[in-house]
């Protein structure tokens, strides 16, 4: 069973996403186990402080090293061989082939979600991977972490329901995204389903789908 932990100041943000649909099913099937680590629990002093101003000046607050290191240590106690991943727009761009690799691997993952203006750079000494979901800046790493978790978990064998869902979405070479699909009715307010899909000619249907698929680089 894949272990996925998330270090975040906002664990409640994950409730809806992890406890619905496919990700919920994956937990029920014991394909994956999620554990939230609330960074606040490792905050300093009676007010459980987690952030401070940057040396050298500048706007905003940074996540301090002590709570972050303590949270990673806690997560590692639970899963000693887990890889530590930090969400940052400076990281390598997430892509389907990485989702496949991380889904296939036996290791667990610990996702650190940054907040505020960033984090103390020294946390990188315990980080294995820096990952970005795109060239834009979000207010925290939570949405990127959810995106990445979803893309990994749905690829765990047995999680995707359909007999041939994997084949549908990529012609098994991982380079092709989905083709357009239609369900009943064949004519909806004059908008007709392409004739070939109604034909029952499997070779022609396969050709049509290939011609109408979006290609992505691996
Ligand atoms: N945190 C803020 N923006 C991000 C992005 N684009 N990718 C990953 N983590 C982020």
CA angle 206, 207, 208 (to 5 degrees): 90
**Res 27: pLDDT:** 96
In angstroms, rounded to a whole number, what is the distance separating the alpha carbons of residues 6 and 136? 22
> Could you report the average pLDDT of every consecutive run of 10 residues in the chain (218 residues)?
97 96 95 98 98 95 97 98 97 97 97 91 98 96 98 93 54 67 98 98 97 80
Q: Are 6 and 34 in contact (CB under 8 A)?
A: yes
Phi, psi (degrees; rounded to nearest 5) at 69: -60, -40
pTM of the model: 0.90
Q: Give the closest residue (by CA) to ligand 1 atom 7.
A: 132
Q: Give the closest residue (by CA) to ligand 1 atom 5.
A: 89
Distances (CA, A) of 160 to 153, 156, 163, 164, 195: 9, 8, 8, 9, 29
Q: What atom in ligand 1 is closest to the CA of residue 133?
A: 7
Q: Are 181 and 216 in contact (CB under 8 A)?
A: no
CA of 111 to the centre of ligand 1 (A): 12
**Res 171: pLDDT:** 45
Contacts of 74 (CB under 8 A, 6+ apart): 37, 42
**Res 70: pLDDT:** 98
Domains identified in the chain and CATH numbers: 2-153 (3.40.1280.10), 175-218 (1.10.1270.20)
Which residue ranges have their beta carbon within 6 Å of ligand 1?
Answer: 87-89, 114, 132-134, 136-138, 141, 144
**Res 172: pLDDT:** 46
Q: Give the closest residue (by CA) to ligand 1 atom 2.
A: 138
Beta bridge partners of 3: 33
């Amino acid at each position: 069973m894949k272990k996925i932990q998330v270090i975040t100041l906002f664990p409640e943000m994950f409730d809806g996403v992890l406890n619905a649909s496919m990700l919920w099913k994956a937990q029920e099937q014991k394909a994956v186990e999620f554990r939230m680590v609330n960074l606040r629990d490792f905050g300093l002093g009676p007010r459980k402080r987690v952030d401070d101003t940057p040396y050298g000046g500048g706007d905003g607050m940074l996540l301090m090293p002590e709570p972050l290191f303590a949270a990673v240590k806690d997560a590692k106690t639970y899963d000693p061989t887990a890889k530590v991943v930090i969400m940052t727009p400076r990281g390598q761009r997430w892509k389907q082939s990485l989702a496949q690799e991380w889904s296939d691997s036996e290791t667990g993952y610990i996702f650190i979600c940054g907040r505020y203006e960033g984090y103390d750079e020294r946390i990188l000494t315990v980080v294995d991977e820096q990952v970005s979901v795109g060239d834009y800046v979000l207010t925290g790493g939570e949405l990127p972490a959810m995106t990445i978790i979803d893309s990994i978990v749905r690829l765990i064998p047995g999680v995707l329901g359909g007999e041939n869902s994997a084949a549908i979405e990529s012609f098994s070479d991982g380079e092709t995204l989905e083709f357009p699909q239609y369900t009943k009715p064949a004519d909806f307010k004059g908008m007709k389903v392409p004739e070939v899909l109604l034909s029952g000619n499997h070779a022609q249907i396969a050709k049509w789908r290939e011609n109408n698929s979006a290609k992505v680089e691996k």
